[in-house]
Amino acid sequence: MEPIQQTYQMPTADQQLLDNGQGVIDPDVFFELNTPPSNLADFESKLTAFVDYHQEKNTRLVFITSGGTTVPLENQTVRFIDNFSNGHRGACSAEYFLDAGYAVVFMHRQFSLQPFHRHYTHNASMGFLDYLVQKDDDTIAVDSQYGNKMKDVLSKYRAATESNRLLFLDFVALSDYLFKLKSGTRILARLQERVMYYLAAAVSDFFIPSQKMHEHKIQSAGGALTLTLDQVPKFLTPLVSVWASKGLIVSFKLETDDNLLVPKARQALTRYGHQVVVANMLHTRKQTVTVITQTSQQVISLSQEDLANHVEIEDRIIPQLVRIHDGWISSDATKACQQ
């Protein structure tokens, strides 16, 4: 029997007209061609209530995106393309932003690392039950060797949640993430320069639009599978210029080729005109990053001593970003006085 090469459906003439001639559609067109996630209304109402609360309190707020997006291969998704990110950067950063007095919206990939919980999950050698002991009176308790640290983590977690300073929201697929990014930034926009957007999620650059996707599970009887993915529109353009134009925007740049890292990070700053790029390499991202602004470039690295003392690099990154945010807020206040 002839092997059948499976490909996704070719774009229609109409869809081809919508792109910019290089196969990249406009961000607005993306939202017209894709269906919003079914829980978008719930996402919006939780975020609106959180923003209402913090608007009154005059708190600074950080919107953290964390973890990787999936790229489904079928509309009724059985298979998808994923990436390496487990959300460590975002989850860890959330704790340091809370320490710095921020309220945190933690928009994360479902089941990726979460602030505070992260100390007890996703550990290859320790499962949840391994932290517990069964006592003689048949009750259970935390094993005493973990008790002190757990008490400390628990009290910080309770302080954040009881003061309504930590909101968990999630996403899975790329389009889910993009709809929520747009909607979330617009809801937060009324807090203006008090919001920092900390875009640490690993967002796919390529996807299959839903009209071009197989509806049902792709069958192996069809032979080899050839996939063509479209390029994801550049969402930082509307985010910086329209959705969140008053906030401080911190994007992340990940590379595996050292020679590309700083030039690509600078290129992003020039192209989008936002304030900060944190550049990191895949294999050293927990030890060293470069914080780049339009006028400065600072390498932040952990020493051998820091590593031996289990210092986390976010402990150094967040205070630096808070200083930049201080400057952003006061420059905005200066602009307002001059008007």
- CB-nearer residue toward ligand PAZ: 71 or 203: 203
Per CB under 6 A, residues contacting ligand PAZ are 85-89, 200, 202-203, 252-254, 280, 285
CB of residue 68 to ligand PAZ, shortest distance in Å = 7
The number of angstroms, rounded, from the C-alpha of 163 to the middle of its chain's C-alpha atoms is 23
Cβ-count burial 207-239 (b if 16+ within 10 Å, e if not): bbbeebbbeeebeeeeeeeeeebbebbebbebb
Residue with tokens 């747009």, as numbered in its chain: 182
Q: Is the dihedral of CA 63, 298, 115, 282 positive or negative?
A: positive
| Residue 95 CB contacts under 8 Å (≥ 6 apart), including other chains | 115, 116, 156, 314
3-state secondary structure of 252: strand
Secondary structure class of 79 (helix, strand, coil): coil
Q: Closest distance between ligand PAZ and the C-beta of residue 289, in Å?
A: 8
> Using CA of residue 231, residue 80, residue 109, residue 290, what is the dihedral sign?
negative
Shortest distance, position 126 Cβ to ligand PAZ, whole Å: 19
Query: Which residue's CB is nearer to ligand PAZ, number 47 or number 236?
Result: 236
Q: Which is nearer to ligand PAZ, 193 or 312 (CB)?
A: 312
Nearest approach in angstroms of CB 256 to ligand PAZ is 10
Q: Which is nearer to ligand PAZ, 60 or 89 (CB)?
A: 89
Nearer to ligand PAZ, 172 or 191 (CB): 172
Smallest separation (angstroms) from ligand PAZ to the CB of 152: 22
For residue 250, which of 206, 290, 205 has the smallest C-alpha distance? Answer: 290
Least distance from C-beta 17 to ligand PAZ, angstroms?
A: 29
Per 3-state DSSP, the chain is made up of helix, strand and coil in percentages (nearest 5) of 45, 20, 35
Q: Of 64 and 166, which has the nearer Cβ to ligand PAZ?
A: 64
Closest CB to ligand PAZ among residues 88, 274: 88
What 224-230 contacts at long range (C-beta under 8 Å, 24+ apart), as own/partner pairs, is: 224/3, 224/5, 224/6, 225/6, 226/5, 226/6, 226/7, 227/7, 227/8, 227/73, 228/7, 228/8, 229/71, 230/23, 230/24, 230/25, 230/206
Q: Which residues lie across from 197 on neighbouring strands?
A: 63, 249
Main-chain phi, psi angles of 89, to 5 degrees:
-55, -50
Choice between 51 and 254, CB closer to ligand PAZ: 254
Comparing CB distances to ligand PAZ, the nearer of 50 and 235 is: 235
Minimum Å distance from CB 313 to ligand PAZ? 10
Q: How far apart are CA 235 and CA 73, in angstroms?
A: 22
Bridge partner residues of 105 (DSSP) = 63, 167
CB of 10 to ligand PAZ, least distance (A): 28
CB of 108 to ligand PAZ, least distance (A): 9
